Structure 1
Amino acid sequence: MSFFLMMTMTFISLFMLFITHPLSMGLMILIQTLLLSLLLGIYINTYWFSYILFLVFLGGLLVLFIYVSSVASNEMMNFSLKMKMYLLFSIIMFILFSIFKMKNYYLFNNFINNEMNNFNEYFLFFNENKISLSKLYNSQTFLMIMMIIIYLFITLIAVIKITNIFFGPLRSFN
């Protein structure tokens, strides 16, 4: 499963080279973030961090969507011949790869499992140092966490005061 996620992320990354419209780029970044969050959840064995990562990216992309839709609202999306050919090529490769995996399941699965196990060992620094969330909120880091929470709260209040509805950077829609 994780190999297919990595392969899909690679295809989407290469597909972004051919996209010129900003809204479709935002959609590709959103899909990339969703796939990255799923992959991160699989490797860390907890989906808490990947969920927070996805929400942060989604919030940033929503702000970018508001700006881009107000600037380039009437621009049409055109698909070039290169983009159509790449999309067709990537779909064909994905289908062929899936068929190959189904036919040679044991041979392919052995190879992929060995490679993924090696990657997991490097990623998790061998299984004895898995990332644990219990180390995040303990007595040694309490002061630092409280300072970060207060800093983020003050920043939130400052951003709200700066972006007043009458003087903000966004134009009003009447």
Structure 2
Amino acid sequence: MEHLLLMNWVTSSTFLFMKHPLAMGGMLLIQTIISTLFTGMLFTNFWFSYILFLIMIGGMLIMFMYMTSVASNEKFQIPNLPTMILITFISAMGLMLVFFPDKTMSSLPLTNMSTEALNFKATFMKPITKFFNLPNFLFSIALMVYMLLTLIAVVKITDKKMGPLRQK
């Protein structure tokens, strides 16, 4: 899990140096994948992370269509060398902190992390199971029907002949 957090931190720091919208979208996609893997490991199943990933991919497709219609001929430039050196240095320092902790960090009291992780998962799963039990599952079904109707309405609104999307 520490590796996923470190990778998420590195992609967040490299996102700050990106200037092209497609490069930003790629970094956002990588960060979404890392975040969904992390949330999937927190829960016993991956349904929440799967839904999160699908929502982010849908939003990224809309952003991609918008950016290709607005800035279609913009050149993609690789960030300059000092920026890449800085990113590599920050990543290496983060990896050193994870793999070679300082002696001051080793003096901290250690606890049994596996039992804490199990208690953490059990605490997180209680509200989720309550959400899908008898009195509340009607709300879930109503939400699913509403999302389906919204999807159908959006598909009908964005018809090729009458839609608001710009055509060239």
Normalising TM by the smaller chain, what interval? 0.7 to 0.9
SS in 2 for 1:130: helix
User: RMSD of aligned C-alpha atoms?
Assistant: 3.3
CA separation in 2, counterparts of 1:4 and 1:56? Answer: 24
SS in 2 for 1:73: coil
Query: Is residue 76 of structure 2 the alignment partner of residue 77 of structure 1?
Result: yes
CA separation in 2, counterparts of 1:161 and 1:30? Answer: 28
Cα deviation, 1:34-92, whole Å, max 9, x if unaligned, reads: 11111111112221211111111111111211211222222122213442222331343
What number of residue pairs does the alignment pair up? 164
Give the TM-score taking structure 2 as reference length: 0.78
From 144, 148, 160, the counterpart of 1:153:
148
Deviation at 1:170, TM superposition (A): 2.5
Question: Which letter does structure 2 place at the counterpart of 1:146?
Answer: I
Q: Which residue of 2 aligns with 1:51?
A: 50
Question: Which letter does structure 2 place at the counterpart of 1:138?
Answer: N
Following superposition of structure 1 onto structure 2, how do residues 1-174 of structure 1 map, counting pairs within 5 Å?
2-78=1-77, 79-93=79-93, 96-97=96-97, 100=100, 114=111, 120=117, 124=120, 128-132=122-126, 133-172=128-167
CA separation in 1, counterparts of 2:113 and 2:23? Answer: 32
Cα deviation, 1:3-30, whole Å, max 9, x if unaligned, reads: 1111111111111111111111111111
2:37 touches 2:49 (CA, 8 Å); kept in 1?
A: yes
1:12 touches 1:28 (CA, 8 Å); kept in 2?
A: yes
Unmatched tracts of structure 1, length 5 or more: none
Indicate how the Cα distance of structure 1 residues 137 and 6 shifts in structure 2: closer, same or farther if over 3 A, else same.
Answer: same
Indicate how the Cα distance of structure 1 residues 96 and 153 shifts in structure 2: closer, same or farther if over 3 A, else same.
Answer: closer
Give the TM-score taking structure 1 as reference length: 0.75
1:15 touches 1:83 (CA, 8 Å); kept in 2?
A: no
Deviation at 1:97, TM superposition (A): 4.9
Unmatched tracts of structure 2, length 5 or more: none
